[in-house]
Amino acid sequence: QAHRRIPSQIGSISSPNSLSIDSNLLVGSIPESLFGLQKLWNLNLSRNGLSGSLPPGIRHGLPSLVSMDLSHNHLVGGIDHFFRSISPARRLTKNASSDMSVIFLPRQLQHLDLSKNSITGALPEFGAGASLRWLDVSGNAIGGQIPSSVWRLVGLQRLDISRNKIRGTIPASVASMASLRWLDISGNALVGRIPDSFARMARLRHASFRGNKLCGKIPQARPFNLLPAAAYAGNLCLCGKPLPPCRQI
């Protein structure tokens, strides 16, 4: 089957609401003209062979975008630069120098899947007010640490940052994400403990911590003590249900 490219004239078609060209053997880069589709709320270019990074013009386009799926491609570039490219104009504060590093996501964006690409960089600090429900950046080469400000994504129901190169400790602030139902941070280089505050994550139904360098007692509350042992495999010294009891010193 022949490989195809997204035509550069795609931005001139009569404003569609949804554009799904997944699993179509597409190659090449994403043309900047695509971001002239002002009424587009759903963009799905997943499972192709697209390469390069997103054009810088995305900041000024796709004002109606609710869902973006670019997973299973060969996209490169820094994840922080990507978030900055989709961020609307940042609000000015008295402390402008610190605000420059904070990303405010578009209020209408609810679903963002960038999994299984070749994206690098580090997750940025997030500002408040986002409507994001689904964030999947798994299977990339993202480094840095989990930003403590991730709790500001208060509506997030699924967070998957697995199979990257993220290091440092797990911020206790993650426990403040009251809507979270799915959390996968497996396959990174995280150290320290699973915060005790996670015991209050009442809506969480799935979690995986496997393949890190975690140690200490697993929070003895649902769902953590009911998950399969495989969810904690490949760490340094986790203990407590569903793993063997912690040693008494």
pLDDT, tens digit, for every residue of 116-141? 999 999 999 999 877 999 999 999 99
Intervals of the chain under pLDDT 70? 1-2, 55-61, 89-100, 249
Question: What was the pLDDT predicted at 56?
Answer: 61
Residue pair 48/24 in contact (Cβ under 8 Å)? The answer is: yes
pLDDT at residue 96, rounded to an integer: 43
What pLDDT score was predicted for residue 94? 41
pLDDT at 93: 41
Q: What pLDDT is attached to residue 248?
A: 75
- Sheet containing 74-78: give its strands across: 4-5, 26-28, 49-52, 74-78, 118-120
**pLDDT tens figures, 168-189:** 999 999 999 999 999 999 999 9
Residue 58 has what pLDDT?
A: 67
What is the rounded CA–CA span in Å between residue 199 and residue 138? 24
Domains and CATH numbers, the chain: 1-91+99-158 (3.80.10.10), 169-249 (3.80.10.10)
Quick one: pLDDT at residue 85? 83
Residue 79's contacts (CB-CB under 8 Å, 6 or more residues apart) are 114, 119, 120, 121, 122, 123, 124, 137, 140, 142
What is the distance between the alpha carbons of residues 200 and 203, in angstroms, rounded to a whole number?
9
